[in-house]
Amino acid sequence: MRSASSQRSFNRIGAGVLGSSPRFLSYQAGESPLHRLDARTKLIGTVVIVADALAAAVPRGMIVMYALGLLVGLSAVHLLPALWRTLRPLLVLVVLFGILITVITPGKPLAHVWILVPSRDGLDLAIRLGLQSLLIIYTTSLLTLTTPPLAVAHGLEWALGFLEKVHFPIRDVISMVAIGLTFVPLLIEETRKVILAQRARGADLGMNALLDENAMAALLIPLLLANLRRGEELAESMESRLYGSGERTSMRERRFGRLDALAAAILLCFTVINLLVSFFL
Amino acid sequence: MIDVSHVSFRYPADSEPALSDVSIRVEPGEVVAVVGPNGSGKSTLGRLIKGLLLPARGTIVVDGLDTRMANRDVRRTVGLVFQNPNSQIVNAVVQDEVAFGPENVGLPPDEIRRRVREALRAVELEGRELDECHSMSMAAKQRIALASVLAMEPRYLILDEPTAWIEPGGRWPLLSEVLDWKDRTGGGVVLITHRMDEAQLATRVYGLLHGRLEAAGSPAEVLHVDAIRTRLGLDVPETYALGEDLQRAGLPVEPGAPVEALAEAIWRS
Amino acid sequence: MAVLEHTGNRSLYVDTGEVVSVLGAPGSGKTRLALELAFLVRPEEGAVLFRGKNPMTKGKRLQERPREVTLLVQNAEDQLFARTVFDDVAFGPRHLMLDEDEIEQRVNMALETVGLDPAEVHDRSPFALSGGERRRVALAGVLAMEPDVLILDEPTANLDPRTRNEFLSLLAPLRGRSAIVWLTSSAREAALADRIYLLMDGRTREVASGSELLADWHVLADAGIELPAVYELARSLKGLGGALPAESDAERLKSEIIQSYRGRRAR
């Protein structure tokens, strides 16, 4: 009787009661080829695709790169709905910026709409920037959707490890950020809870609360205290499991496997073709 | 064996010591309960055994390892499950959380996968490897926390009020998973609790009050004495009182057993 | 006319001066219902009426909710924040545009009601108090609003047994001052109310109140409510194949279980 459904909300943070929180770009577990790639391969791949996108000529190079994007997307088809949900609002933003750029960039006028004069150069620039940013957002989204935050973190550590040599604690910084990110949903829920609780005892906490020192304290102090407590407990829990005590391994570490080699080869091909068609054709 | 000998400890910010001259002993294969009211020092004791804190005076030796000298080894030998599952889980996905400890000590991937599999089986969460931790019930989260400690394959397990935050129905399943682990591996368990019925599971009970050892002995010697029970602020569940009443009326029941066990004992005889 | 009313599947009402409880298993949606009743979230279905009117008609923002209804959230002590107990309790009333004298008076009265000495705790930090005392301060904070309706969401959750009993004794003097809606998962606490609603599967239904509540214990058990141990025992025995005793009084139920055991032994 008192099973799954009822257990869900028996929880001091009130999950389920306040509705599920948005999960922006958060990791979705799965077994697609994209999931199975080494995090480092995906990190480097993402950087290369970003560089490719910036270098690609419109339309020739872009066609090549979007073909690659399609190929990557097809290897993790089940993620596409989640990806679409995150991209949709950004798409609107890209289009709006595109229109703005078209209008404010001086150049050969295309038409006269009321007092606005969209220009040919503006349109070209808008299309170029739009295609670039979409590809970049799409690629990085796929990275974060298929790679657990801690694996991204360890990939970054590996890539930026040289900073440790100049005594910058890059490992700790990256791990903290990654762990912080896993707690975003909990933090959002907690914030909602504090707002409701303070309203429940008569506070306003509308937009004007931002100007009211007391109201801000009512919001921030309970949140801060809860998170300090949590931070301390988390640190203990990690220390208990010997975090940071030596070299780490990974359950899914496959080193650079055959799949990684294949991915690298595909990426290299597309990059060469992109550069060829963009600069020499 | 865990040997805590004449240990004192004070937190830097406090004027009163959290523990003074406490000695306890835990053998492999037994369950020891540490009971006492809030602020009696029982959580501090757990952290000292785990090596997260170091004693100011006295020594703590786990299977021959002194927590001061061989801290890292002690931490591998002793697993600690905390109260609040929400603040022990650091990974988004179940299997990553369970793998976290073994990954930290640099085990090979195959070994990590084996341990994750076994730990999840031990807490009856097979098949949920890819689920999101934060969307699960508190009881399930606490089982993940337990699994992530079991995956370190400790010799001893400390549970610091492990059922304080979980729904009542999840309490016995969690504890029985711990007992199964003990039977299977011959490990030792330290159960920190203020609940009478949980303390009843132990072979030996230590009662702490204001950082001092107030009582020590078998459950009968500590838990069944009203004066001690009151002094230690033990939460006497109604089930326990009922069990006592029935026992007094001559029914063959063990006070402290969960209701289902009471019913079975009455029915079977 | 009811001072607060929920229409729809989870219909319930409370009259001025009345204490009603809503009894529901963990996870049955009590917190959600509490938030709806306090006009903090919009109802999933049905409507909430304050003095017969829906104050949150379309277009009204939730911030404009009627301040005559206050809610003590679960674990409300986690929401204390001010430098002194006085400021914390005064936090709500300060939003009512009262003058300082009136606020001072309300805060002192609220603190007295929850059994704290205003002179003693006035300037203390809420964080220097014990957990039980902090929850009292939180209760004082909603009482100082002098609400027409006070909603309590599991007010004794996570208190140790002694603190819980102390806290329950505070609630008696509140009777009559505000209408009270008390959401709880404990049959024993629910029985303290004038009327009792059982919340189950997203619906409410009124059940017998007071000591008669447990006469309905089969129903409560089905709703997943944790019952006094002897009822749980009777239910487990039935699960094993025993006959379900007809008694509803706890003591008599217990002696019946003992008798039937002895009877079986004798045979």
pLDDT at B215 over 90: yes
Task: Report the percent of chain A where pLDDT is more than 90.
Answer: 25
Residues 6+ apart with CB under 8 A from B94: B120, B125, B128, B129, B130, B131, B132, B133, B144
Q: Does B167 touch chain C (CB under 8 A)?
A: yes
Query: What would the pLDDT profile of B146-191 be if each residue is shown by its tens digit?
Result: 999 999 999 999 999 998 888 777 888 899 999 999 999 999 999 9
* Amino acid C158: pLDDT: 78
**SS3 track for chain B:** CEEEEEEEECCCCCCCCCEEEEEEEECCCCEEEEECCCCCCHHHHHHHHHCCCCCCEEEEEECCEECCCCHHHHHHHEEEECCCHHHCCCCCEHHHHHHHHHHHCCCCHHHHHHHHHHHHHHCCCCCCCCCEHHHCCHHHHHHHHHHHHHCCCCCEEEEECCCCCCCHHHHHHHHHHHHHHHHHHCCEEEEEECEHHHHCCCCEEEEEECCEEEEEECHHHHHCCHHHHHHCCCECCHHHHHHHHHHHCCCCCCCCCCHHHHHHHHHHC
* pLDDT band, very low/low/confident/very high, at A154 (cuts 50, 70, 90): confident
Residue from C127, C226, C230 whose CB has the most chain B CBs within 10 Å, to mutate? C230
- Which chain C residues contact residue A206 at CB under 8 A? 61, 63
Using CB atoms, pick whichever of A2, A6, A222 lies closest to residue C81: A222
* Amino acid A207: pLDDT: 65
Residues 6+ apart with CB under 8 A from B175: B162, B163, B198, B201
Q: Does A204 touch chain B (CB under 8 A)?
A: no
Pairs of CB atoms within 8 A across B/C = 54
For residue A177, the SS3 value is helix
Average pLDDT value for residue range C117-130: 92
pLDDT at A219 over 60: yes
Average pLDDT value for residue range C154-172: 83
* Amino acid A18: pLDDT: 41
Average pLDDT value for residue range A187-204: 88
| Rounded Cα–Cα distance for residues C59 and A164 (Å) | 56
- Tell me which residue of C78, B125, C222, C163 sits closest to A14, measured CA to CA: C78
Query: What would the pLDDT profile of C64-77 be if each residue is shown by its tens digit?
Result: 789 999 999 999 99
By the 8 A CB rule, do B165 and B84 touch? Answer: yes
Query: What would the pLDDT profile of C125-135 be if each residue is shown by its tens digit?
Result: 999 898 889 99
| Rounded Cα–Cα distance for residues C94 and C144 (Å) | 10
Query: What would the pLDDT profile of B54-67 be if each residue is shown by its tens digit?
Result: 999 999 999 999 99
* Amino acid C106: pLDDT: 95
Q: Is the dihedral of CA C248, C249, C251, C256 positive or negative?
A: negative
Query: What would the pLDDT profile of A175-186 be if each residue is shown by its tens digit?
Result: 777 777 777 777
pLDDT at B208 over 90: yes
Phi, psi of B96 (to 5 degrees): -65, -35
pLDDT at C117 over 70: yes
Mean pLDDT of all residues in chain B? 91
Within 159-198 of B, beta carbons closer than 8 Å to A belong to 165, 167, 169-170
Task: Report the percent of chain A where pLDDT is more than 70.
Answer: 88
* Amino acid A25: pLDDT: 60
| C27 dihedral zone (left: phi>0; alpha: psi -120 to 50; beta) | left
Task: Report the percent of chain C where pLDDT is more than 70.
Answer: 98
pLDDT at B75 over 80: yes
Task: Report the percent of chain C where pLDDT is more than 90.
Answer: 54
Q: Which of A140-154, A183-197, B99-113 has the highest mean pLDDT?
A: B99-113
Query: What would the pLDDT profile of C178-233 be if each residue is shown by its tens digit?
Result: 999 999 988 888 988 999 999 999 999 999 887 777 777 778 877 878 788 888 88
* Amino acid C237: pLDDT: 84
- Which chain B residues contact residue A243 at CB under 8 A? 100, 104
Interior angle at CA C21, CA C16 and CA C26, nearest 5: 150
Q: Can you list the domains of chain C with their CATH numbers?
A: 4-209 (3.40.50.300)
* pLDDT band, very low/low/confident/very high, at A196 (cuts 50, 70, 90): very high
Average pLDDT value for residue range A268-280: 91
Pairs of CB atoms within 8 A across A/C = 99
Distances from the Cα of A262 to the Cα of A34, A143, A268, A278, A279, angstroms: 12, 17, 10, 24, 26
Greater model confidence, A1 or C26: C26
* pLDDT band, very low/low/confident/very high, at C114 (cuts 50, 70, 90): very high
Greater model confidence, B87 or A208: B87
Q: Does A230 sit within 8 Å of B87, measured CB to CB?
A: yes
Using CB atoms, pick whichever of A8, A186, A234 lies closest to residue B137: A8
* Amino acid A7: pLDDT: 32
Lowest mean pLDDT across A203-212, B85-94, B193-202:
A203-212
Average pLDDT value for residue range B8-29: 94
pLDDT at B78 over 50: yes
pLDDT at A110 over 70: yes
Q: Give the residue from chain A lying closest to B104, CA to CA.
A: A248
Query: What would the pLDDT profile of C12-46 be if each residue is shown by its tens digit?
Result: 999 998 999 999 988 889 999 999 999 999 999 99
* Amino acid C232: pLDDT: 82
Q: Give the residue from chain A lying closest to C74, CA to CA.
A: A12
Helix or strand (DSSP H, E) at C37: helix C30-37
Within 123-142 of C, beta carbons closer than 8 Å to B belong to 131
* Amino acid A255: pLDDT: 67
ipTM of the complex: 0.88
Query: What would the pLDDT profile of A18-45 be if each residue is shown by its tens digit?
Result: 434 345 567 777 788 888 888 888 999 9
Greater model confidence, C60 or A91: A91
Mean pLDDT of all residues in chain C? 89
pLDDT at A149 over 80: no
Average pLDDT value for residue range A77-90: 83
Q: Is A216 exposed, middle or buried (0-12, 13-18, 19+ CB in 10 A)?
A: middle
